[in-house]
Amino acid sequence: MGSRKLVLRAAVIAALVMAMMSMFVTGASATTPSPTIFTAPGPGGGPNVRDFDVHGSGPFSSYNAYGGGFSGGVFVAAGDVDGDGFDEFITGPGAGGGPHVKAENPVHGGLFHSFLAYDSGWRGGVTVASGDVNNDGHDDIITGVGPGGGAHVKVFSGTDLSELHNFFAYDPGWRGGLFVASGDVNGDGNDDIITGPGAGGGPHVKIFSGADGSLINNFFAYDAGWSGGVHVAAGDVNGDGKADVITGPGPGGGPHVRIFRNGDGGVVLHNFFVYDPWFTGGVWVASVDKNADAKDELIVGAGPGGGPNVRVLNLTGGVTTVATFFAYDPWFTGGVRVSGAMS
* pLDDT recorded at residue 29: 56
CA distances from 277 to 72, 281, 300 (A): 27, 10, 14
Reported pTM:
0.91
Decide if 303 contacts 250 (C-beta within 8 A): yes
Q: How far is CA 121 from CA 58, 92, 94, 125, 171, in A?
A: 36, 15, 14, 11, 22
Largest CA distance in the chain: 79
Going by pLDDT thresholds of 50, 70 and 90, the confidence category of residue 68 is confident
Please determine, for residue 219, whether its predicted confidence score (pLDDT) is greater than 80.
Answer: yes
Residue 109, pLDDT score: 84
Domain count, the chain: 1
CB atoms < 10 A from the CB of 231, how many? 28
Q: Mean pLDDT for the chain?
A: 92
Is 60:79 a contact under the CB 8 Å cutoff? Answer: no
Task: Say if 272 falls within a structural domain.
Answer: yes
- The larger pLDDT score, comparing residue 32 to residue 3, is at 32
- End-to-end, the C-alpha distance of the chain in Å comes to 46
The phi, psi pair for 293, rounded to 5°, reads -105, 15
pLDDT tens for each residue of 112-168? 999 999 999 999 999 999 999 999 999 999 999 998 899 999 999 999 999 999 999
Write the CA distances from 35 to 27, 122, 343, integer angstroms: 15, 34, 7
Higher pLDDT, 229 or 31: 229
What is the domain-level CATH number for residue 83? 2.130.10.10
List C-alpha distances in Å: 339 to 21, 25, 55, 121, 285: 25, 19, 14, 28, 8
Burial class (CB within 10 angstroms; exposed 0-12, middle 13-18, buried 19+) of 315: buried
Residue 269 near residue 244 (C-beta atoms within 8 A): yes
Residue 10 binned pLDDT confidence (cut-offs 50, 70, 90): very low
pLDDT > 80? residue 9: no
Please tell me whether residue 91 adopts helix, strand or coil conformation. strand
pLDDT tens profile 99-114:
999 999 988 889 999 9
Q: If pLDDT is split at 50, 70 and 90, which confidence band does 182 have? A: very high
Decide if 192 is inside a domain.
yes
The helix (H) or strand (E) run that includes residue 144 is: strand 140-145
The predicted-structure confidence for 243-252, as pLDDT tens digits, reads as follows 999 999 999 9
| CB-based contact 126:99 (threshold 8 Å) | yes
10 assigned to some structural domain: no
Domain annotation covers residue 152: yes
C-alpha 204 chain-centroid distance: 20
Helical H runs in the chain? 3-26
**What's the pLDDT tens digit per position in 280-338?**
999 999 999 999 999 999 999 999 999 999 999 999 999 999 999 999 999 999 999 99
In a domain? residue 84: yes
**Angle made by CA atoms 23, 55, 59, in degrees to the nearest 5:** 20
| Environment class of 127 (CB within 10 Å of its CB; exposed 0-12, middle 13-18, buried 19+) | buried
Q: Give strand pairing partners of 91.
A: 76, 102
Residue 23 has pLDDT above 90, yes or no: no
How far apart, in whole angstroms, are the C-alpha atoms of residue 237 and residue 241? Answer: 9
Q: What is the pLDDT of residues 190-210, one digit of tens each?
A: 999 999 999 999 999 999 999
Domain region containing 225: 67-296
Examine residue 339 and state whether it is found in any structural domain, yes or no: no
For residue 19, the model assigns a pLDDT of: 36
CA distance 70 to 47: 6
For residue 213, is it within any domain? yes
User: Is the pLDDT score of 20 beyond 80?
Assistant: no
pLDDT, greater one: 107 or 183: 183
Is-contact 275 306, C-beta < 8 A? yes
Q: Strands (DSSP E) along 146-266, which ranges?
A: 152-156, 163-168, 178-183, 192-197, 204-208, 215-220, 230-235, 244-249, 256-260
Q: Is residue 330 in some structural domain?
A: no
**pLDDT, mean of residues 216-227:** 97
Query: What pLDDT, on a 0 to 100 scale, did the predictor assign at position 107?
Result: 87
